[in-house]
Amino acid sequence: MFNFARERQLPTLLLIDDDMVSREVTATLLTMSGYSVHTAEDGTASVELLDSGNCAPDAILMDAQMPGLSGAPLIGALRARSRARVFAISASDAPEDVVAAADGFLLKPFGADELTRLLETCAPPASPPASEPTAAGEQASLPLSEPLPASADPVVSATTLAQLRGLMPDAAIREIYAAMVEDLSKRLAALEIAIAEGNAAEIRRIGHSIKGGCAMAGAMQLARLGALLESGSAPEGSNHLDDNRALLGDLRASARNLERMLESEFPA
């Protein structure tokens, strides 16, 4: 595995993301690349972590859309407690005030190369390294920014799966996808309630979370369905309620496909 730490002193990171799948996938990739990573599940937890004195990050990655303390107010709270650079990340375009307040922005899904280039802006300059070619079979980056096709999506991108295997052992990959399956079951239960209540804002929020987390892990079927939920779009002449119920059924089928892939590719 390519180790960025051989080239430069890597910054310590604080990752703030309320989506468990996105948080765990991103933290795992960063840790495997040699970064020291602290995580927080929301804005309030991140502020408490900084106040505790147990985390002194050089850079902060924060999801741009979270419940509670979030957005520009969260950036202000972080800057009051840390000199770290603050970068916003999101599965959709971030609000203008967040982009203006942050030091940079990345759209999910993003690859390790994109993230590394962003983080290098806050890392100490590297001494001129000797050219070191990547050995055959090694994976120096993990591009997860493949487009979501309109149909016939793979359960998991073959490219992403192969590159994850180049970065970490199968046991670690299994943990990522097992956590995704568990998280999906909770989100789909919440989605069913939101559809029954006609809560369009909650339906879009759940779709946004599914899209972002699943796209980061290359789960393309689920990511596309999450994007459809978030957009609130329905075919002309269709009923939004019926359309959302159909999407819920498709999501459940795709979640089962992911479970079968997990059992086949990564048996316990």
Condensed to tens digits (0 to 9), the pLDDT of residues 169-183 reads 888 888 888 888 888
CB contact at 8 A, 87 and 59: yes
CA–CA distance, 83 with 86 (Å, rounded to integer): 9
Residue 110 has a pLDDT of 76
**What integer is the mean pLDDT of 62-80?**
94
**What integer is the mean pLDDT of 37-44?**
95
Chain-centre distance of CA 24, in angstroms?
A: 8
Q: Does residue 21 register a pLDDT over 90?
A: no
In a domain, 189, yes or no: yes
Residue 266 has a pLDDT of 86
Confidence tier at 233 by pLDDT (50, 70, 90): low
> What is the number of helices (H) and of strands (E) in the chain?
10, 5
Joined together, the tokens standing for residue 58 give 């050089």
**What integer is the mean pLDDT of 52-74?**
93
Please classify residue 267 by burial: count the beta carbons closer than 10 Å to its beta carbon, then call 0-12 exposed, 13-18 middle and 19+ buried: exposed
CA angle 122/125/126 to nearest 5° reads 125
Residue 189 has a pLDDT of 95
Confidence tier at 70 by pLDDT (50, 70, 90): very high
In a domain, 139, yes or no: no
Residue 163 has a pLDDT of 78
Confidence tier at 121 by pLDDT (50, 70, 90): low
Q: Which of 63-67, 114-118, 175-179 has the lowest mean pLDDT?
A: 114-118
Q: What is the CATH number of the domain that holds 48?
A: 3.40.50.2300
In a domain, 137, yes or no: no
Q: Does residue 132 register a pLDDT over 80?
A: no
Inter-CA distances, 40 with 44, 47, 96, 97, Å:
9, 9, 24, 22
In a domain, 52, yes or no: yes
In a domain, 143, yes or no: no
Do both 93 and 167 map to the same domain? no
Number of domains in the chain: 2
**Which residue would you say has higher pLDDT here, 27 or 15?**
15
**What integer is the mean pLDDT of 139-154?**
48
Instruction: Name the one residue in this structure whose structure tokens are 């119920």.
Output: 245
In a domain, 116, yes or no: yes
Residue 243 has a pLDDT of 86
**Which residue would you say has higher pLDDT here, 192 or 141?**
192
Residue 150 has a pLDDT of 40
Q: Where in the chain does DSSP place strands (E)?
A: 12-16, 36-40, 59-63, 85-90, 104-107
The domain of 192 spans 158-265
Residue 129 has a pLDDT of 38
Q: What is the CATH number of the domain that holds 183?
A: 1.20.120.160
In a domain, 163, yes or no: yes
Do both 10 and 83 map to the same domain? yes
Name the residue type at position 189: A
In a domain, 42, yes or no: yes
CA–CA distance, 59 with 176 (Å, rounded to integer): 24
Do both 108 and 196 map to the same domain? no
The three-class DSSP label of residue 118 is helix
